[in-house]
Structure 1
Amino acid sequence: MAIIGLGLLLFALLIGNMQNFLQALGRRRLEMSLRRRDVEQWMSHRRLPEGLRRRVREAERYSWAATRGVNEEILFENLPEDLQRDIRRHLFKFVKKVRIFALMDDPILDAICERIRQKTYIKESRVFSPGCLIDKIVFIVRGKMESIGEDKIRVPLSVGDVCGEELLTWCLEHSTVNRDGKQIRIPGQRLLSNRMVRCLTNVEAFSLRAADLQEVTSLFSRFLRNPRVQGAIRYESPYWRSLAATRIQVAWRYLKRRQSSHLSG
């Protein structure tokens, strides 16, 4: 009788857990269907062409699959600050794989992680285009991108890679430090991209906006101006490598012209 009673109790618990699971699954499907209905109504109201509608639907599907329909920002707001910090360090541990950030102290990394936001891109999306403003740094978590420079050289980007990292150096170089040690922005200047970065697959990433990066650099400008950090930024960056190669080519051509002019003279 005891064994039968225990078996019935375990069976009842199993049924209860299955019922809760099915109810949660039903709620999630209902939320997803309501979200899709709202998106369709919005696209119809704005009279988007079919090509744009198809891209919006694909982006919505991938974003829902990547986040499971959970708004992480709202979830984080209800947690204690120390727990938020530990969770962010776990989520953004890939940041230290980049040599630039491996040299940084924990307070700077914590300040950066607090401002990083989740971002999803669909296949063929352009993250940066030539001549357009660079307004963010993008850390790739899942998927593949490629960077195409002015010389048409293609640089593959995958999990753990970064694009738009030249924004960090630019923020430091186009600012001054007053007597109080605080950084002051020089107005009227913008960083424009000299390459195209596009997605080869659907990409899940984290982005750091220019305004947030400027705030971080103003708080930790003295450390970020360290020659080791600056060297790491330029060594790891496809942007700075491409710029260095271009300048070397220009200097080499100038030297060859001078040598030829001396020989002819």
Structure 2
Amino acid sequence: MVMENLPEDLQRDIRRHLFRFVKEIRIFSLMDVPILDAVCERLRQKTYIKGSKILSQGSLIEKMVFVVRGKLESIGEDGTRMPLSEGDACGEELMTWYLEHSSVSSDGRKVRLPGQRLVSNRTVKCLTNVEAFSLSAADLEEVTILFTRFLRSPQVQGALRYESPYWRSLAANRIQVAWRYRQKRLSRVNSSVTTKH
């Protein structure tokens, strides 16, 4: 409430100071000041207790969470476990999803296709008490609409996919499936060659 009575430029400077950790989060390290300001305006402070779940497999993803302090574990559909800690984020797939599930209206503005929601394919559980900031799905959608062109750039998309534990886990699973498929094909080829001889 005190912040709301201050001049806008002073509010922005205070937010930048309070949320300077946002620049340290790998996903946002490439982003320009305007998008960081837009994110900081919408962040909400959260505390999660040990054992609580931030995301649950099969439930809707309602927020993107930036970890400030504490340890978490991301558990994929196949049981793959990945540690998360300070500087990591979860729910980041929501940003990519909003960019992919929107269309352009007749006046050139981005609009989300109605009736579509993103369901989590992993569970993120707190191993300790966790201090974090969250960005609600509605706020994240608004940011992606405002900065669509920037967020769609290959550099940002590459950083998002390369640094994200979610995307790294997904990529690792796909590589494993492709490798197993290749091994089966090679063994079939080898067995057919030996039977002919």
Structure with more of its chain in strand, by fraction: 2
2:30 equivalent in structure 1: 103
From 140, 148, 153, give the equivalent of 1:213: 140
1:81 maps to amino acid: E
Normalising to structure 2: TM-score of the pair?
Answer: 0.91
Count residues with an aligned counterpart: 192
From 52, 57, 81, give the equivalent of 1:130: 57
Match status 1:259 vs 2:186: yes
What displacement does 1:225 show?
0.3
What displacement does 1:129 show?
0.9
1:197 equivalent in structure 2: 124
Helix, strand or coil at the partner of 2:14: helix
Deviation sequence 1:51-77 (CA, Å, 0-9, x none): xxxxxxxxxxxxxxxxxxxxxxx2322
1:248 equivalent in structure 2: 175
1:188 equivalent in structure 2: 115
Helix, strand or coil at the partner of 1:119: strand
| Alpha-carbon distance between aligned partners in 2 of 1:85 and 1:164, rounded to the nearest angstrom | 25
CA contact 1:134–1:164 (8 Å) conserved in 2: yes
2:12 maps to amino acid: R
1:200 maps to amino acid: L
Deviation sequence 1:10-63 (CA, Å, 0-9, x none): xxxxxxxxxxxxxxxxxxxxxxxxxxxxxxxxxxxxxxxxxxxxxxxxxxxxxx
The structure with more radius of gyration: 1
CA contact 1:130–1:195 (8 Å) conserved in 2: yes
2:5 equivalent in structure 1: 78
What displacement does 1:103 show?
0.9
RMSD (Å), alpha carbons? 1.5
CA contact 2:71–2:128 (8 Å) conserved in 1: yes
| Alpha-carbon distance between aligned partners in 2 of 1:97 and 1:160, rounded to the nearest angstrom | 6
Larger RCO, structure (CA 8 Å, separation 6 or more): 2
From 14, 21, 26, give the equivalent of 1:94: 21
2:182 maps to amino acid: L
| Alpha-carbon distance between aligned partners in 1 of 2:27 and 2:50, rounded to the nearest angstrom | 28
CA contact 1:147–1:156 (8 Å) conserved in 2: yes
| Alpha-carbon distance between aligned partners in 2 of 1:154 and 1:253, rounded to the nearest angstrom | 20
What displacement does 1:179 show?
5.3
Helix, strand or coil at the partner of 1:241: helix
CA contact 1:182–1:219 (8 Å) conserved in 2: no
| Alpha-carbon distance between aligned partners in 2 of 1:181 and 1:96, rounded to the nearest angstrom | 31
Structure with more of its chain in helix, by fraction: 1
What displacement does 1:177 show?
2.7
Normalising to structure 1: TM-score of the pair?
Answer: 0.68
